[in-house]
Amino acid sequence: MAARLHGHASELPSLPLRLSASRSCLLGAANRPPSALRLRPKSCRPARVMAAAASATAEEGLKKGIAEFYDQSSGLWEDIWGDHMHHGFYDPGVTASVDDHRAAQIRMVEEALRFSGVSDDPSKKPKKVVDVGCGIGGSSRYLAKKFEAQCQGITLSPVQAQRAHNLSVVEGLADRVTFQVADALEQPFSDGQFDLVWSMESGEHMPDKKKFVGELARVAAPGATIIIVTWCHRDLLPSEDTLLPEELNLLNKICDAYYLPSWCSAADYIEIAQSLSLENIKTADWSENVAPFWPAVIRSALTWRGFTSLLQSGWKTIKGALAMPLMIEGYNKKLIKFAIITCRKPE
């Protein structure tokens, strides 16, 4: 729960990015119709320069907002929920306690590995892992221990990176797990470096989804598995070019609270993976399996411990807490989907 401008600069709200009404904006210029790529008259160049400058400013604003949001909120999350900053995986229809939720977060990691076919076989298990949008390193440490692997995590939050390192030292993993502040769209790694590329609930923060997946593929070694677990909106119907206005309005409110740019669907991710010639592409909708999560987060915020900690954590965290019912509304309306997308880089 880890950035390019969509829409027009004149439409910018308090957050630098909003949901675009056009599906083509989600996938980058390469996927727009040819008419959208024609050269403009020479007199339009100053406008394009201004738009590019506004885009760069908006991108920096988004990254700053994401970093500050997690700088403020990570301590509260860890205090109540532990070091895994993501949904849990539950059997449909269950009502669970906080202890159950922590176990469910570990189950989420295991279910993602199972779905993607990552092997426990000593001769096949991953040796080098990257955790893109690592939070305070819960997944990184778990994967490093499970596979006896080297793991590198990246986050936009300096507070998260430092806390992730400190926890790794306490667990005796500092020689195998490292963390740094870095942009997932410009990762500080050489090509083909990792045989497991892991992104657990960071894709929703990426405004250029094609560049995001492209970076995951770039740092993946030949034959590596790529796992993306992320928030999506519902797939569009064949007759639709965009979501309904009321759906866009709801998602925009969530974007304002959680520093999110444009959403996309799982079908969009599949299209992107196919355009990059990735193989063994699979996806699943796990919305029912995460249904108990947001009600449980709300219940934890309403305890005295949760309430007092929330008040001390800053306005950005409070704003995020106030938006939690909107996430439940989005799931109940089948608008928000919790999706896993996995694929493999060709040998």
pTM of the model: 0.84
pLDDT grade for 97, boundaries at 50, 70 and 90: low
Total number of domains constituting the chain? 1
**Is residue 45 one of the residues assigned to a domain?**
no
Question: Is the predicted pLDDT of residue 24 greater than 60, yes or no?
Answer: no
**Is residue 67 one of the residues assigned to a domain?**
yes
Strands (E), the chain: 128-132, 150-155, 177-181, 194-200, 220-233, 279-285, 336-344
Quick one: angle between helices 266-275 and 209-219, nearest 10? 50
Question: Tokens representing 180?
Answer: 């740094």
CA 73 to mean position of chain CA atoms: 16
Q: Which residue range(s) make up the domain with 91?
A: 57-231+243-345
Query: Average pLDDT of 210-232?
Result: 98
Question: Is the predicted pLDDT of residue 127 greater than 90, yes or no?
Answer: yes
pLDDT (tens digit, 9 = 90+) per residue, 294-315?
888 777 777 767 667 767 777 7
**Is residue 12 one of the residues assigned to a domain?**
no
**Is residue 25 one of the residues assigned to a domain?**
no
CATH number at residue 89: 3.40.50.150
pLDDT at 5: 33
pLDDT at 2: 40
pLDDT (tens digit, 9 = 90+) per residue, 62-74?
999 898 888 888 8
**Is residue 16 one of the residues assigned to a domain?**
no
**Residue with the two structure tokens 């608008």:** 335
**Is residue 257 one of the residues assigned to a domain?**
yes
Sequence-separated contacts (24+) of 143-146 with Cβ below 8 Å: 143/109, 143/196, 143/198, 144/173, 144/176, 144/177, 145/173, 146/120
Let me know: does 310 contact 321? Beta carbons within 8 Å: yes
- What gap in Å lies between CA 329 and CA 323, rounded to an integer? 10
Question: Tokens representing 140?
Answer: 């990184």
